[in-house]
Structure 1
Amino acid sequence: MALATFGAGCFWGVEYFFRKVNGVRDCTCGYMGGKDQFTRYLDVKQGITGHAEVVQVEFDPAIVSFDDLLAIFWQNHNPTTLNQQGGDIGSQYRSTIFFHDKTQKQQAEASKLGLIKSQKWGSRAIVTEIVPCQQFHQAEDYHQDYLAKNNLPSCHISY
C-alpha cells in the first residue's frame, strides 16, 4: 500500500471522489501543513492554524497509480483559485499536494506542468502547492465518510 495526501477544498468532497476509485483502500479526512502539533476542526475552520483540510488516500499502486490519483485531483476542484473552493474561503481550503517521496514530487510537478500546457484554465495561474508531507492530524470521527453517513451528494464540482 502507498499513501497520497491532497487538499482541494472541503475534505468531505475530496474524500467522496477518491473513495469511488478502484484500488483506493481507505481515505481519511484530516489536517496538514500548519504549525500546531494538536489541532481540531473548529480551529482549522477559523483559519488560525495554518493547516489545510486534506484527505490521506491509502491506495494499492498495483491497481491505481499515483498519476491516476493526480488526474482525479485535478478534475475535481479549481486549481486557479487561491485559498478558495466555491463558497469555502481561507487558506484551509487551498489546493495542495503533499508528496510522500521524491517520485511523488516529480510526478506532481509533471502533472501540474501538463495541466498548465494543456491551457484547460486559459491564462489563469495554477496556484496548487506541491510541498513535502508533514504530520497528519486525523479529523474528528464525525468528519470521516461524512457525505455517505448523512446521505448527501458531493459538495465538489468536476471540471
Structure 2
Amino acid sequence: MNEAQVREVLDALEAAGCPHWISGGWGIDALVGRQTREHRDLDLAVDAAREAEALLALEALGYRVETDWRPVRVEVAGPGGGYVDLHPVAFTGDGEGRQAGLDGGWFDYPRADLTIGTIGGRAVPCISKRLQQVFHQGYEPREVDRADLRQLGDCP
C-alpha cells in the first residue's frame, strides 16, 4: 500500500463523509511524520454508523471484500494490490469509541486518543502514540511490530 493509494482512500472516505482514523503501520508513520517502511495495508478505524458508506466509497475505487470478520473488521483488496483493513468503531454521544474484539471483548478508543498526524505533508486523522502502544499488547510481536514501536520514540 503506497502513499498515493493511501491518499486516494482518504480522499474517497472524506468525500463520502466517513469519519476515520489511521492506525497500524501507516498510523505510526503519520505520528512520526514520514514513511518508515513498506506497508501491506492501511488500517483504519471507521465510525461504525458510516461503515456501509465507507465500503461503498472503497468499492467505487475497485476494492472488494476479501476478509469479513464483522463486527470486528473487514478487509478489502484493491486493484493495485493494496489492502484496507476497516475496524468499525461505535461512538457514543460524548465521542468515546468501542470496537468489538475477536474474543468477545472490545477495544476502547478514548476521544483523547484520536489525534492528527502527517502523511506526505498532509494532516490526517490517526490514533495516538498511547493507543498504538496499547494495541500492540496482548500478542507476541513480530519484528515489524517491534520496529514500529521503536519508531514511536521519535514522536510526541
Fold similarity call, TM over 0.5: no
Which of the two has greater strand per residue? 2
TM-score (norm: length of structure 2): 0.36
TM-score of the superposition, structure 1-length normalised?
0.36
Which protein has greater RCO, CA pairs closer than 8 Å, 6+ apart?
A: 1
Higher helix fraction: Structure 1 or Structure 2? 2
